[in-house]
Amino acid sequence: MNIDQIKNIFTDEIQHIDFKYNEKSSSVLVIINSYIPKIIMIKRSYDLRIHGGEMAFPGGKCDCHDNNILDTAIRETREEINLNILKNQIVAKLAPVSTSTGFTIFPFVSIINNMDKLRASSNEVETIFNIPLSSFLKTIKFQNHDNNSCIFEYKMNTIWGASARILKQLYDILKSPLYKS
């Protein structure tokens, strides 16, 4: 899998993002390392009341002080894994997904060159994973013959629910006829 091919697939220009604060809105960053296509995921702290111990993307709940939902993802990523993402590093937005707890997650895709100084926030993140993208996406397993219900696996961690639905979008984009692996 070539990073230039991945970049060429994402043609969205992230300019204007409509935003109305909602306490049940959140956003995440699907961060791809451009050097060797790897994706960042986190295991949320077991101490968290909601979704504790689950595999997820960096991001979180919207704050009424955020200018828009993209600012939420950027702020939360900085807080959770000590990574500063610039708006010009955002290459796409994916379709929103809903959680079993009533949240709507707005995912954005970022391709960056450097992930040297990642540091997990001790109260929010248990572990940070740099996962090889191509082999990870191949772990997809569909449940109940439903193409929308799937799981992914990484080092004995099952990724399911909203995170799996976000990964499924990435899987669908990268397996499209436009992409040649």
Listed by start position, the domains of the chain span 3-132
Q: Which CATH number fits domain 3-132: 3.40.1390.40, 3.10.180.10, 3.30.43.10, 3.90.79.10?
A: 3.90.79.10
pLDDT at 181: 44
pLDDT at 113: 86
What is the mean predicted confidence (pLDDT) over 51-69? 87
pLDDT at 147: 61
Are 175 and 35 spatial neighbours (Cβ–Cβ below 8 Å)?
A: no
pLDDT tens profile 143-165: 776 666 899 999 999 999 999 99
Is residue 73 predicted with pLDDT exceeding 70? yes
What is the mean predicted confidence (pLDDT) over 4-18? 63
Q: How far is 26 from 66, CA to CA, in rounded Å?
A: 11
Are 113 and 35 spatial neighbours (Cβ–Cβ below 8 Å)?
A: yes
What is the mean predicted confidence (pLDDT) over 10-20? 61
Q: How far is 20 from 59, CA to CA, in rounded Å?
A: 18
